[in-house]
C-alpha cells in the first residue's frame, strides 16, 4: 500500500516557498522514506513518521524551495532488505512522472503567530478574585461557599488585574475570559448589552486598563462571543415583547406568533428550549451587521486579541465567513477559536476559524489515562488520526483542554474514571498521580494548552455548577506539588522552541509497559518525550536509531534535571510510576 495525492491530508503549502508532504505506506519494520524534489536540480529531504495505525504509517517531510508556488517531487521508499522503491504520480518503478503541486496565497492556512507560543488560561470572572467589593451585585455570597447556578461571588476585572503577578508566576501568556458583557446571570451567556461591560465586573475603562496591563505583562486576552442567542432583557427582544408584531425588531428572532410568551412553552426559538435564551436570526442583515460591529468594536476599542465563539455550529456558516473577514480585517493577528466538541473538519478546512476547542483531545486523554479503555498504542493512533484531519497550522491553533466551565474538573473526572478501573480507588492522590503523564502530554503536544483556572492548585468539582467553584487564594489550600509540576512543564514549553512549534513524530509505544515515546522536531532541533503511564517504576530504553540520536550525545531531562548519554546505540532512563521525561540537548 503506497498512497499520495495532492490534498489536505497529503500536501499542504506552509508558505510561498515551503511545502508539507505526506506519504501513506504499509507498516513494516526497518523502512525509511525520502522525498526527492526539483529545486535547481534534484534535492532530497528525509521523511519522518507522523501518524500510525496498526496497518499503515504516514510519513511527513517539510521542504523549502528557492522558487515559490510550485514543486515537482517523487518519493523513495527503502525497505529493510535495502531495496529502493520509487513512487511517482503514475505508480511505482525506477522512472516515472513526478507529482506536481502548485499553490497560491489563498491555499496557505495561516494562524496568528503568537498562538504557537501560547499557554492559555481560562477564567470564569465571577469566581477568580474580587478586586473591587464596591461593584458586588446584591446578595454576593462569601468566597468559599458552594456555587449554585444563581449565586454571585464578586469576582471582577479588577480582581484579574490584581492577580497578574500570579499569572506570570504560573507562566501563562494568554487568557480566555468567559462572557463579561452586561447580563443578569453569573455566567453571562444571556447577554443584555454587547457593548457594555457588566457593572458587577467593572466598565469599559476597567477593561481597557486590564488589557493594557496584560499586554504589558506579555499576556494576550480573548473574549467569549455569544452570538447565537441573547437574554430576554436585550433591547431588541424587550421591544418585541412590548410591541408585538409592530416592533421593528420582530425579525431579529424566530417568533412563531404574537404576543410573545415564555410559558408554558416559549413561542419563539431558543437555545436548547431555554426560554431565557432566545435565538437570534443572523440571516437578518440588521442582526448580522450589529453582531459584526460588536466583533470588531472590542478589538479596536479595548485592544483585545480575539474571540472564543460560543456554540458556533448553531449559526449558519456564511455568518462566520463574514465574521472572520471582519475580525481579520481589523486585526490580522486576532485569534478566532470555535467551541466545537466533535470533528471540526468542516470549520477548519473551510477556514471559518483559526482553531477549535480540542475536546477530542480531552476525550482521548480521559479514555486512556483515567479509564484505561484501550491500550496506549491506540491512544497514539487516535491522536494521529485527529491530526490528519486538519491543516497542520490549525493543529497548532487548537486549544488543548482537559477541563472547562462545561465539564467536571479534571481531577474529579480522573477520580470518577479510576474508580471504575480494577485495582484503583479513585482517591484524590491516585487521580493526581495518573494526571501527571497526561499533563506532560498536554504541555508537550502540538496546539495551545489550556488550563482551567484552579486546576493547577488541585481544585475539584463535578459538572456545572460545581466545576465553577471560587479560586482558592490561601497557599495552604493549594496542592503545591501539583502547582510546581504545572510550572515546570510550562517553563519547559517556553524554554524549548520545538515544544511550541515543532512537528510531531511518534517514536514507539509499549502496551504492556504502558510507555509512549514521541518527539517534537524543528529545524534540526529535537525534543524527546517519554511517558510512563504505568503504576510501576521502570527503566525505559530508547533505541538511538528510532529517535535519530547520535552515539555519545548527551541529553538532559527537563523534569528531573538528570543528564543521560547515548551508549551502545541506546539511551536508558529510570522513570517513576506515572511520570515521564522531556529530553533535550543544551
Q: Report d(CA 539, CA 413) in Å as an integer.
A: 29
Ramachandran assignment for 461, one of left (phi > 0), alpha (psi -120 to 50 degrees), beta (any other):
left
**HEC secondary structure over 144-195:** CCCCCCCCCCCCCHHHHHHCHHHHHHHCCCEEEECCCEEECCCCCCCEEEEE
Mean pLDDT of the residues in the chain: 97
Which of 15, 346, 347, 490 is CA-nearest to residue 336?
347
Q: 48 pLDDT band (50/70/90 cuts)?
A: very high
Chain segment 496-535, per-residue pLDDT in tens: 999 999 999 999 999 999 999 999 999 989 999 999 999 9
Residue 296 has pLDDT above 80, yes or no: yes
Q: Is the peptide bond before 236 cis (omega within 30 degrees of 0)?
A: no
Integer Cα distance of 566 and 133 in angstroms: 59
Tell me how far CA of residue 281 lies from CA of 245, 249, 291, 315, 559, in angstroms: 16, 10, 11, 9, 52
Domains of the chain in sequence order = 2-107 (2.60.40.10), 113-228+280-495 (3.20.20.80), 229-279 (3.90.400.10), 502-584 (2.60.40.1180)
Residue 29 has pLDDT above 80, yes or no: no
Distance CA 401, CA 443 (A): 10
| Among 327, 339, 252, 342, residue whose Cα is nearest residue 294 | 327
Rounded mean pLDDT, 552-567:
97
Confidence of residue 539 (pLDDT cuts 50, 70, 90): very high
Cell 471559518 -> residue: 352
- Among the listed residues 126, 310, 354, 456, the single catalytic one is 310
Q: Is pLDDT at 339 greater than 90 in this prediction?
A: yes
- Indicate yes or no: pTM above 0.95: yes
Give pLDDT, residue 58: 97
Which residue is associated with the grid cell 505506506?
Answer: 25
Catalytic residue among 224, 305, 339, 455, which?
A: 339
Establish whether the linkage from the previous residue to 264 is cis, with ω within 30° of 0. yes
Q: Is 310 a catalytic residue?
A: yes
Q: Is the pLDDT of residue 81 over 80?
A: no
Give the pLDDT of residue 168.
98
Compute the average pLDDT of residues 278-287.
Answer: 98
Cα–Cα separations (whole angstroms), residue 477 to 4, 144, 329, 427, 460: 55, 11, 46, 18, 12
Please list, in sequence order, all residues whose beta carbon lies within 8 angstroms of the beta carbon of residue 535, skipping any fewer than 6 positions away: 577, 578
Q: Examine the residue annotation and report whether 239 is marked as an active-site residue of this protein.
A: no
* pLDDT > 70: percent of the chain: 100
Model pLDDT, residue 407: 98
| Mean pLDDT, residues 537-549 | 94
**How deeply is 244 buried, as exposed, middle or buried, from its count of CB atoms within 10 A (0-12, 13-18, 19+)?**
middle
Q: Which long-range contacts link 284-293 to residues 24+ away (Cβ below 8 Å)?
A: 284/251, 284/252, 286/251, 286/252, 287/252, 288/319, 288/322, 290/194, 291/194, 291/227, 291/319, 291/323, 292/322, 292/323, 292/326
Predicted confidence band of residue 30 (pLDDT cuts 50, 70, 90): confident
At 115, the pLDDT band (50, 70, 90 cuts) reads: very high
> Of 25-39, 111-125, 421-435, which gets the smallest average pLDDT?
25-39
Rounded to whole angstroms, how far apart are CA atoms 542 and 526? 15
How would you label 44-65 residue by residue, b for 16+ Cβ within 10 Å and e otherwise?
A: ebebbbbbbbeeebbbbbbbeb
Taking each helix axis from N to C terminus, what angle separates 285-301 and 317-330, rounded to the nearest 10 degrees? 30
Order of strands across the sheet that contains 579-584: 503-510, 515-522, 525-532, 579-584, 554-557, 563-565
Angle between helices 428-444 and 410-418 (to 10 degrees): 120
pLDDT value of residue 359: 98
pLDDT (0 to 100) of residue 59: 97
Q: Give the count of beta carbons closer than 10 Å to the beta carbon of residue 9.
A: 16
pLDDT at position 188 is 98
Q: Give the integer Cα–Cα distance in Å for 189 and 172.
A: 25
Residues paired with 504 in a beta bridge:
520
Residues 244-271: tens digit of each pLDDT: 999 999 999 999 999 999 999 999 999 9
Mean pLDDT of 305-311: 98
| pLDDT, average across residues 470-477 | 97
Rounded average pLDDT over 194-216: 98
Query: What distance lies between CA 148 and its chain's CA centroid?
Result: 28
**Contact (Cβ atoms closer than 8 angstroms) between residue 192 and residue 231:** yes
pLDDT at 79 over 90: no
CB atoms within 10 A of CB 258: 16
Amino acid at each position: 500500500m503506497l498512497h499520495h495525492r495532492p490534498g489536505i491530508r497529503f500536501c499542504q503549502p506552509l508558505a510561498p516557498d515551503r511545502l508539507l508532504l505526506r506519504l501513506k505506506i504499509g507498516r513494516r519494520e526497518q523502512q525509511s522514506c525520502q522525498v526527492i524534489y526539483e529545486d535547481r536540480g534534484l534535492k532530497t529531504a528525509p521523511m519522518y513518521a507522523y501518524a500510525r495505525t496498526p496497518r499503515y504509517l504516514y510519513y511527513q517531510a517539510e521542504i523549502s524551495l528557492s522558487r515559490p508556488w510550485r514543486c515537482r517531487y517523487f518519493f523513495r521508499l527503502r525497505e529493510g532488505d535495502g531495496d529502493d522503491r520509487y513512487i511517482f504520480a503514475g505508480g511505482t518503478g525506477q522512472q516515472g512522472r513526478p507529482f506536481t503541486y502548485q499553490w497560491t496565497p489563498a491555499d496557505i492556512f495561516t494562524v496568528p503567530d503568537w498562538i504557537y507560543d501560547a499557554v492559555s488560561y481560562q477564567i470564569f470572572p465571577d469566581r477568580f478574585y474580587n478586586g473591587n467589593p464596591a461593584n458586588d451585585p446584591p446578595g454576593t455570597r462569601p468566597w468559599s461557599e458552594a456555587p449554585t447556578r444563581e449565586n454571585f461571588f464578586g469576582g471582577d476585572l479588577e480582581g484579574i488585574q490584581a492577580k497578574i503577578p500570579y499569572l506570570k508566576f504560573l507562566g501563562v501568556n494568554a487568557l480566555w475570559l468567559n462572557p463579561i458583557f452586561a447580563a443578569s446571570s453569573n455566567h453571562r451567556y444571556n447577554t443584555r448589552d454587547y457593548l457594555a461591560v457588566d457593572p458587577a465586573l467593572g466598565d469599559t475603562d476597567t477593561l481597557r486598563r486590564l488589557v493594557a496591563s496584560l499586554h504589558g505583562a506579555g499576556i494576550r486576552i480573548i473574549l467569549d462571543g455569544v452570538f447565537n442567542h441573547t437574554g430576554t432583557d436585550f433591547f431588541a427582544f424587550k421591544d418585541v415583547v412590548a410591541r408585538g408584531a409592530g416592533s421593528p425588531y420582530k425579525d431579529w428572532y424566530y417568533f412563531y406568533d404574537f404576543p410573545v410568551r415564555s410559558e408554558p412553552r416559549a413561542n419563539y426559538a431558543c437555545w436548547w428550549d431555554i426560554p431565557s435564551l432566545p435565538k437570534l436570526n443572523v440571516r437578518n442583515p440588521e442582526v448580522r451587521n450589529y453582531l459584526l460591529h460588536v466583533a470588531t468594536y472590542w478589538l479596536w476599542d479595548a485592544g483585545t486579541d480575539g474571540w472564543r465563539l460560543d456554540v458556533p455550529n448553531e449559526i449558519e456558516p456564511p455568518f462566520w465567513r463574514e465574521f472572520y473577514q471582519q475580525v481579520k480585517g481589523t486585526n490580522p493577528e486576532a485569534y478566532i477559536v470555535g467551541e466545537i466538541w466533535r470533528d471540526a473538519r468542516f470549520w477548519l478546512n473551510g477556514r471559518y476559524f483559526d482553531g477549535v476547542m480540542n475536546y477530542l483531545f480531552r476525550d482521548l486523554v480521559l479514555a486512556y489515562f483515567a479509564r484505561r479503555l484501550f491500550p496506549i498504542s491506540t491512544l497514539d493512533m487516535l491522536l494521529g488520526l485527529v491530526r490528519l484531519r486538519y491543516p497542520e497550522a490549525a493543529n497548532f491553533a487548537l486549544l488543548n483542554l482537559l477541563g472547562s466551565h462545561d465539564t467536571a474538573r479534571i481531577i474529579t473526572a480522573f477520580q470518577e474514571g479510576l474508580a471504575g478501573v480494577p485495582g484503583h480507588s479513585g482517591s484524590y492522590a491516585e487521580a493526581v498521580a495518573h494526571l501527571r503523564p497526561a499533563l506532560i502530554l498536554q504541555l508537550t503536544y502540538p496546539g495551545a494548552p489550556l488550563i482551567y483556572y484552579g486546576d493547577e492548585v488541585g481544585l475539584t468539582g463535578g459538572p456545572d455548577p460545581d466545576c465553577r467553584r471560587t479560586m482558592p487564594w490561601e497557599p495552604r489550600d493549594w496542592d503545591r506539588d501539583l502547582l510546581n509540576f504545572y510550572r515546570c512543564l510550562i517553563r519547559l514549553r517556553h524554554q524549548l522552541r520545538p515544544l511550541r512549534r515543532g512537528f510531531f513524530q511518534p517514536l514507539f509505544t509499549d502496551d504492556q509497559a504502558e510507555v509512549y515515546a514521541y518527539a517534537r522536531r524543528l529545524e534540526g532541533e529535537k525534543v524527546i518525550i517519554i511517558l510512563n503511564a504505568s503504576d510501576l517504576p521502570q527503566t525505559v530504553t530508547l533505541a538511538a536509531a528510532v529517535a535519530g540520536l547520535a552515539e555519545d550525545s548527551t541529553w538532559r531531562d527537563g523534569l528531573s534535571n538528570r543528564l543521560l548519554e547515548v551508549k551502545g546505540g541506546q539511551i536508558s532512563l529510570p522513570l517513576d510510576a506515572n511520570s515521564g521525561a522531556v529530553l533535550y540537548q543544551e
